[in-house]
Structure 1
Amino acid sequence: MSTMLAAATAAALALCAVPAFAEDAERPAPPRVGRFTMIPADQGFVRLDTETGIVSHCRRAADMGSDPAAAGPWRCSIVEDEAGAAPDPAEADAIAALSREVAALAARVAALERAAAAAPPGEPQAARPVDPPPVPPRAAPDPQADDRSLDLAEEMMRRFFDMVRTMKREGEADHI
């Protein structure tokens, strides 16, 4: 009986869970909103291209100066961005400075190209090896300086070994 009750409970839970899983199933994507958004404006409407961000003012061709009696097709003209029309003075100065720098660099490139064209044929100027700077002449070896260096090294070694002998004697005297 308990097995039967467990099976019935499991079946009831399964039937209740089916609608819940159906809600979790992938829902269809919402319909795509049009590419353009249009807002009424003077003598027509303003159209925003939602993909590119371009704003256009649209009106009938008759409203653009042609015969007002004839209702022509819609014509749209791009609305110029006011911010892009006149840069602020700081930006204008920066643009002018960059333009001068570009002109100076172009003149420098032209001068370098003329110099390269005037160079003798053969290796390009940049590929030619550069001569190393001259090495100052060395003084002739001094045998007396060599002897002094060897005497100094010999004296240092003698003192070192004397210190080692002294330490050994002191160590042996401490053990007795």
Structure 2
Amino acid sequence: MKRLLPIGVLLLTPASSLAQEAPDARFALERTESGFVRLDRETGAVSLCRDQDGTLTCRMAADERAAYERELELLAGRVTALERRLEAMPQPESLPGEAEIEQGLSIMERFMRRFMEIIEEFSSERGNSEPAPQKT
């Protein structure tokens, strides 16, 4: 029993250290004269952070803010263009009514009955002149 306890501690230690590293892995925080600079390692975004009354407040850097605004304008323009294209497209007609559905089904039923008659005629003609092929 005493030997199992150190093994259990060793097995749990790496898991707990990984759990502690996970939140810190995305952002890097560096102290500057006026506060902090935060780097998002996934997106590359840089934020300027200040400690105000015990709360860390972060804002995007000015050049990133301008790029962000340009991207928003570009996306807004694309959305507007897509909306215009959608409005210009012909709208689908309404669904068929009950009478139109019944008419279509009636036509299909007549077609299928006639088709089956043709198959029966063909099968009876073939049966009289030739033996049925071997099916494997």
What TM-score, normalized by structure 1, do the two folds share? 0.31
Q: Which structure is higher in helix share?
A: 2
Q: Which structure has the larger Rg over C-alpha atoms?
A: 1
